[in-house]
């Protein structure tokens, strides 16, 4: 048997298929747990349970019910656990358990990790250890800070402060966007501590664990890979552009009652959260349609590879921009920071971009046909948010029809598992790759 394949119930299952099936089974288990009587305070439909389970595992944050009033402490724990598994990756959590138990990580395990987290097979286990340490450490430090802050400033009981702080830290670092306040973070729009610490958690989660590992080692190595340089540059650029655009457009609109400093703070947070986090301090539904469209672009680009965020990824967008500029100049090479980016990566980036656009457009059209009372732009925003595993909404998630909810569930699932992983998992067949060389013929374009 090929080392890249395993058998399940008599069927040969490839790594992409195993990832696709694994996430699906976890969603089902999560939905079943959320339907248990002691998980919920109010009746919940099967659709809403599946929606919540998918949104949590796919670290999206879209919700058809109010988290704070619908779920019990056990339900909130299930959601937090799903967010942790979804943010770190299904295979990463499994591998972490194996490492703790002292089990040897086989080549088959490494291949599955590489498929799930978009890493190379070489050094995967070492990186897994780093991811576990980073995740638990960053979330733990943030949870402690929030606990004391909510206890001392907002006078929460210690139990409530600990519970909300732990949940919020997991949600923010994993770019999930679930909250236990019932109105997202809108009650903290004038609180710099909550806004800034949450922003840092979102950014750190969205950079990707490869970048975090290199930044941690930088004082000793004084070296960053091309990947990390691109991620850091694109992250800073997109955050700055988003902040300026939202600040200028919403200055006298959704933020007109805020002070100048609060306007800047909330414009910054709105730009950060579109990078796949899903929190909001200013209601998205109160913003202009121009701002919605800018957010659609930012959500579609998303976070960075190997991170807790979604989207087509910052490096994909960067590669496409650089390839376009190189083509306009007539250059044969795509150069970044003195290094050449292969055309194989450019082709893969083009494929991801095209497939991402296709998923969002098809989802938007399906939603509009199934529920024509809601505007096309609102559905475009919702589908992009679902595909990018962002979780922001213009306010329609809880009022859409049941068929539309299932379309959004599918979009969230594809956005988290990965378009290529889903397609390869569905279409994988041994020996279908043609090795025949055909005669080239020119076509006219443009």
Each of the 446 residues of the chain gets a pLDDT tens digit; together they read 343 444 444 455 666 677 778 788 889 999 999 999 999 999 999 999 999 999 998 888 899 999 989 999 999 999 998 988 887 664 455 444 444 444 454 545 454 454 444 554 445 566 667 777 888 899 999 999 999 999 999 999 999 999 999 999 999 998 888 999 988 999 999 999 999 999 999 999 888 878 888 898 889 988 888 889 999 999 999 999 999 999 999 999 999 999 999 999 999 999 999 988 889 999 999 999 999 999 999 999 998 887 777 889 999 999 999 999 998 988 888 888 888 888 888 988 998 899 899 999 999 999 999 999 999 999 999 999 999 989 899 999 989 999 999 999 999 988 887 766 665 555 554 444 455 566 666 566 56
Is the pTM of the predicted complex or chain greater than 0.75?
yes
CA 393/CA 398 separation, integer angstroms: 10
Neighbours of 241 (CB within 10 A): 14
- How many residues can be counted in the chain? 446
CA 322/CA 339 separation, integer angstroms: 12
At a CB cut-off of 8 Å and minimum separation 6, what does 384 contact? 296, 299, 300, 360, 390
How big is the CA angle at 356 (ends 350 and 361), to the nearest 5 degrees? 125
CA 114/CA 125 separation, integer angstroms: 10
CA 46/CA 38 separation, integer angstroms: 16
Burial environment of residue 99 by CB neighbours within 10 A (0 to 12, 13 to 18, 19 or more): middle
CA 24/CA 19 separation, integer angstroms: 9
CA 311/CA 329 separation, integer angstroms: 29
Task: Decide if 117 contacts 130 (C-beta within 8 A).
Answer: no
Supply the DSSP symbol for 342.
Answer: P
Ramachandran area for residue 418 (φ above 0: left; ψ -120 to 50: alpha; else beta): left
CA 412/CA 377 separation, integer angstroms: 18
- The gap between the terminal CA atoms of the chain, to the nearest Å, is 48
Supply the DSSP symbol for 185.
Answer: B
Q: Residue 31 in 3-state DSSP?
A: helix
């Amino acid at each position: 048997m090929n080392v890249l394949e395993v058998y399940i119930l008599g069927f040969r299952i490839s790594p992409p298929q195993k990832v696709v099936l694994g996430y699906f089974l976890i969603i089902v288990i999560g939905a079943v747990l959320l339907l248990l009587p002691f998980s919920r305070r109010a009746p919940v439909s099967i659709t809403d349970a599946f929606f919540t389970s998918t949104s949590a595992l796919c670290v999206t944050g879209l919700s058809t019910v109010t988290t704070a009033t619908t779920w019990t402490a056990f339900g909130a724990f299930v959601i937090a656990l799903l967010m942790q598994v979804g943010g770190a990756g299904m295979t990463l959590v499994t591998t972490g358990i194996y490492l703790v138990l002292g089990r040897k990580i086989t080549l088959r395990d490494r291949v599955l990790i590489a498929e799930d987290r978009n890493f190379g097979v070489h050094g995967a286990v070492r990186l897994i250890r780093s991811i576990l340490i980073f995740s638990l450490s960053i979330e733990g430090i943030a949870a402690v800070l929030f606990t004391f802050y909510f206890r001392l400033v907002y006078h929460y009981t210690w139990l409530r402060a600990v519970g909300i702080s732990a949940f919020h830290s997991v949600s923010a670092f994993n770019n999930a966007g679930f909250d236990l306040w019932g109105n997202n973070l809108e009650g903290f729009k004038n609180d710099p501590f909550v806004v800034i610490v949450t922003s840092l958690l979102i950014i750190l989660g969205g950079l990707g664990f490869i970048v975090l590992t290199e930044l941690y080692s930088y004082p000793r190595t004084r070296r960053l890979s091309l990947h990390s340089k691109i991620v850091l540059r694109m992250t800073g650029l997109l955050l700055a552009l988003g902040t300026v655009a939202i600040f200028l457009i919403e200055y006298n609109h959704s933020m007109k009652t805020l002070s100048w400093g609060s306007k800047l703070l909330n414009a910054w947070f709105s730009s950060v959260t579109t990078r796949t986090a899903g929190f909001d301090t200013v209601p998205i539904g109160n913003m202009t349609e121009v701002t919605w469209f800018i957010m659609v672009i930012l959500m579609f680009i998303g976070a960075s590879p190997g991170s807790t965020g979604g989207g087509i990824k910052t490096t994909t967008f960067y590669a496409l921009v650089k390839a376009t500029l190189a083509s306009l100049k007539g250059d044969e090479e795509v150069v970044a920071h003195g290094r050449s980016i292969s055309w194989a990566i450019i082709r893969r980036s083009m494929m991801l971009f095209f497939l991402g656009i296709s998923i969002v457009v098809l989802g938007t059209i399906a939603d509009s046909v199934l529920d024509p009372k809601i505007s096309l732009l609102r559905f475009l925003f919702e589908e992009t948010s679902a595909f990018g595993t962002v979780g922001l909404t213009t306010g329609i998630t809880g009022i859409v029809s049941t068929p539309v909810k299932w379309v959004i569930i599918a979009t969230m699932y594809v956005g988290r598992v990965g378009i290529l992983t889903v397609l390869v998992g569905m279409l994988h067949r041994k020996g279908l790759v043609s090795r025949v060389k055909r005669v080239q013929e020119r076509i006219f374009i443009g």
